[in-house]
Structure 1
Amino acid sequence: MARILVVDDEVGIRELLFEILYDEGHTVEMAENAAQARAARARIRPDLVLLDIWMPDTDGVTLLREWGSQGLLDMPVIMMSGHATIDTAVEATRIGAVDFLEKPITLQRLLKTISSALSRPFKPTLGKVTPVPPPPTAQVIAPPPLANPFAEPPEEKKPEGPSNLLGNISLDQPLRDARDEFERVYFEYHLARENYSMTRVSERTGLERTHLYRKLKQLGIESRKRGS
């Protein structure tokens, strides 16, 4: 199995990727910004890096360019973003990224991309390259405050109301099945109500974000959303 470095400023995404990759048998290191990513890369010498583009201190494309210019791209790097333009993805690939994942990332796509990157030969960037500024259309601009990688089209956001939804649950079934149906309706209602903001849903339901992600995964809500 591989040593994988996950770099993303969203704690929920980091923890979700950690759980998925850990379950697959990989050793996972996490970093929330470029400074931590530099330190982790030097400390563990990862076999692969999952690198988010949108970060507050130094964006992922700039960090990738920095590693390339210093001859430190000795591992495959897969870029991730829910807001990047095509030009940004092309620029990252030109600098040295081996692939690009658009958020929200499906489980199948994530594992397939990682497996492909680890299995094919990788040629390290050993010498310095001349840093090239990104074109104007590829400049990193902070996403709007309300942007959310889990958002759905507006028509799917608003449930009719808890009373109508609860009316679909049959009481002529085992308690465990009825409880699972209720929890599924409960979390789908709050996800839609809070515009799929995991922070607000966590506050509304009283669950820590890690427990919330696990609960959604257990109830199958996450997989259905990804497939929709």
Structure 2
Amino acid sequence: MANILVVDDELGIRDLLSEILNDEGHQVDLAENASQARSACAAQRYDLVLLDIWMPDTDGVSLLKEWALAGQLIMPVIMMSGHATIDTAVEATRIGAFSFLEKPITLQKLLKAVNQALEKSVSASKSASSIASTGSATVTTTDHPPEMAIPAAEVPHLIKAIPPEDMLPDPRQGFDLDRPLRDARDEFEKAYFEFHLAREGGSMTRVAEKTGLERTHLYRKLRQLGVELGKKRSTR
């Protein structure tokens, strides 16, 4: 699990990115402007920042440059924009941005960029730890690589609890049909998605496969229906 900061002045973008990244098992904080982003980064260290370029107070490129000059650019930063030019993207990369995503951001491109940036963050942390170790009085070496192990913090996000069939909500429960069609349909769709979320242990990937919906559309549909997206994963 990674700590990720999403900085964007658009509420819809912040909410959508937060839902997607939370479902991937990450801890996500939100900031709607540069001022909030500065405060968040001063309070804790992030493994990754998703930073919008066009914001009302201070634009993303200026904030990126500010972090770089102050020596605070210690985490990968992915820039986002729907209006940036190639020159802007090149400038951001030159300053130190890890990559650039053009809005509207597809789910596949988002997850690919996030995973690549987090891999870089992990590699940088390991390199720093290695340098610190070799600088100590005693250095221990082995002739064989250590066993590959899954970090304990990641285990809860790899195990999805699938409850018994008799404990799942029944999507065929009685509905009040003496009402407008739209209201009745929304009630059924909400029960339908809640059933599949419980059945698949909260896995949005499996629910998307079962219902035949693309994941980004599924997120928006669930939010529209007011379906609770709380984790339904095992804590074993």
TM-score scaled by structure 2? 0.54
Residue 214 in structure 1 maps to residue 214 in structure 2: no
User: Do the aligned partners of 1:21 and 1:28 also contact (CA within 8 Å) in 2?
Assistant: yes
The answer for the alignment partner of 1:113 in structure 2 is 113
Distance in 2 (CA, whole Å) between partners of 1:29 and 1:216 is 21
Deviation of 1:44 (Å): 2.0
Cα deviation digits, residues 77-113 of structure 1 (max 9, x gap): 0000000000000000000000000000011110110
C-alpha RMSD over aligned residues: 2.6
Amino acid at match of 2:27: T
Total equivalences in the alignment: 137
Instruction: For structure 1, list consecutive stretches of 5 or more residues without a partner in the other structure.
Output: 124-174, 184-211, 220-228
Which residue pairs with 1:226 in the alignment?
none
- Counterpart code for 1:103: K
Secondary structure of the residue that 2:39 maps to in structure 1?
Answer: helix
In the TM superposition, what is the alpha-carbon distance from 1:38 to its structure 2 partner? 0.2
Contact kept, 8 Å, 2:50 with 2:77, in 1: the verdict is: yes
Alignment of 1:17-96 (within 5 A): 17-96=17-96
* Alpha-carbon contact 1:34-1:57 (below 8 Å) kept: yes
For the Cα contact (< 8 Å) 2:19–2:219, is it kept in 1?
A: no
Secondary structure of the residue aligned to 1:58 is coil
SS in structure 2 at match of 1:88: helix
TM superposition score normalised by structure 1: 0.55
User: What amino acid is the match of 1:215?
Assistant: K
Which structure has the larger Rg over C-alpha atoms? 2
1:99 aligns to what? Answer: 99
Q: Distance in 2 between matches of 1:85 and 1:122?
A: 30
SS of the residue 2:97 aligns to: coil
Identity %: 75
- Partners of 1:98 and 1:115 lie apart in 2 by 12
Distance 1:22 1:38 in 2: 22
